[in-house]
Structure 1
Amino acid sequence: MTAPTTPQTDTIERRYLEIEVRAAAQGEPPTISGMAAVYNREAVIGDFFREVIRPGAFKRVLSENPDVIGAPNHNWDTVLGRTIAGTLKLEDRENEGLHYAINVNPEDQEAMNFYSRVQRGDIRHSSFAFTVRKELWTNPENPQDLPLRAVLEVDKLYDVSPVTFPAYPTTTASVRSQVEALKQEQARQAASGGAEDEPAKTEARRKVRTRTLQLLDRSSGG
């Protein structure tokens, strides 16, 4: 295990949850609510690494009253709610995760069309877009296992999104081949060096992780 580090990239990442998003009951103001992130739940990201978000990861960013939008399927052209307008509420629920509630505008037909899909159950899962300020990587003893990334602190939070599918977008063959080439180069460097080259090995692993995140974001349309 290494010490917590700051990622050397400002890549916007997206994570998806299989937790059901909810619409308000009949007769109540139209509201979409759900969990955007859940603490201490391990997920496999693109078959390249495992990831958990630790409690308190959103504490700092939420204390700064960030400008965050509620957007369907991360489509920033359609805004369902916004924190600075008071139409999106975010709550850091201790030891649970990040909860959101969007007050949908009943006079916005496009927004209401999306809201009706949530009511019907056609849209039922959540996601969020963010960058990372502090992370902790743990490399497995078995090289066949995936490394574990713990997100300790979120840097910026861009959106919370009710989404159609709760899974990370399928990575393309091109992305997989590029990541595999990076891993092979890292392995080659590790095999050629001794214990005195540990700082170089650590830097090589960091570069692989950074490039992997960039490729995954590109493949998901970010």
Structure 2
Amino acid sequence: MKPRLHPFTALTAAASAAVVTTAAAYWPLSVAVALAAVFLAVRTGVAGRVLPAAAVILTPLCLSLLVLHGLFFPEGQIVLAHWGPARVTAEGLGFALELGTRTTACVLVFLLFSFAVSVPDLVSALAGRRIPPQFGFVLASTLTLLPAVAVRLDRIRQAQETRGMEVRRGLLSRLGALRLQIVPLVLALIDDAGSRAQALDARGFGSPGPRTSYREVADPPGQRRFRTAALLFAAAAVAGRIVASWPAGVPT
């Protein structure tokens, strides 16, 4: 019988793909990652859930990117069309394409993981690493609710853009915008996690003492080596992006 993919391996692959895609900021790579995620969703039999969820999340997001950056890109120089204050610029369309394909790839890989992962295996794997069971159940429930988390993040982004937040091409500008979006999202998730943790404590999950696991998750050495290599590759991609975006003439 073919061994199942360990939950940590699937999570590492999804996170590494998202990190590398974001660091590369190269739309052909984003398209390739998105197509690979769709292919794997079809192979694993979860395409019927991944694709509709992705459509719900990405359709308004990509349309808003097209309107905001395709028509009102402040740094655009090559004007393709002009209607009053709206200007269709080549730079704006390129920025919208890059950001839209990158976001699509990240959403698809995490949706694939959230729908394909076995929640009991994930909880057992976390318990095997001596992680408190409350955290395991909260993490598993959060991952299975990833589409709702993505929708919440999109609403936060839209609210901030309505208040005048601009995302420019510079790495520092993107990191600053990401921080402004991640902080309220994390605070909301912490509040949700606290509510779930209280419910778990009320059912005895926080009681001290030894615990017995009735479910074992195989973790072959090959998958552990893959996780190490994937994390190193993602770290190298981030480091390369930082070095490439470093201003010329500035000492390191």
Question: Structure 1-normalised TM-score?
Answer: 0.32
Q: Which has the larger radius of gyration?
A: 2
